[in-house]
């Protein structure tokens, strides 16, 4: 069973990013949780509000939408979030190995072409 907790936080503008980072950190540490957050900051443009809600690790807009649809916490760099993302780390290592192998093959082919032409 899932409980819904509604919170209305009155936070000084200077602490808004820290508060949102706190929520993000909790969300990352507890993958069964899902947060939907809105902020109302008077006298701040939409662009300024967007820069104030940046958190780390970042999520793209598409990742936010996908996460809200599936209720899971993952992103392109979730492998760095700790033990709960071990499988993500293994997948990232495999991806990096594939990229390294492609670069090695490209380097070997370029070297061979250079020798053949020289």
Distance CA 105, CA 19 (A): 47
Give the model's pLDDT for residue 52: 61
Q: Where are the domains of the chain?
A: 1-71, 77-118
Cβ neighbours for 68, distance < 8 A, ≥ 6 positions apart = 34, 36
56-113 pLDDT, tens digit each:
566 666 766 665 555 456 666 776 777 777 787 888 888 889 999 999 998 898 888 8
Q: What percent of the chain has pLDDT over 70?
A: 73
Give the model's pLDDT for residue 69: 54
- Record the pTM: 0.38
């Amino acid at each position: 069973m899932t409980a819904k907790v509604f919170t209305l936080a009155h936070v000084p503008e200077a602490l808004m990013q820290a508060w949102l980072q706190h929520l993000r950190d909790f969300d990352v540490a507890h993958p069964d949780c899902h947060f939907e957050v809105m902020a109302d900051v008077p006298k701040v443009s939409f662009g300024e509000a967007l820069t104030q809600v940046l958190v780390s690790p970042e999520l793209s807009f598409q990742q936010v939408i996908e996460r809200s649809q599936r209720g899971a916490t993952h992103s392109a760099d979730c492998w760095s979030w700790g033990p709960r993302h071990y499988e993500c780390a293994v997948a990232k290592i495999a991806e990096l190995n594939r990229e390294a192998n492609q670069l090695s093959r490209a380097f070997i082919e370029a070297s061979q072409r250079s020798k053949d032409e020289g």
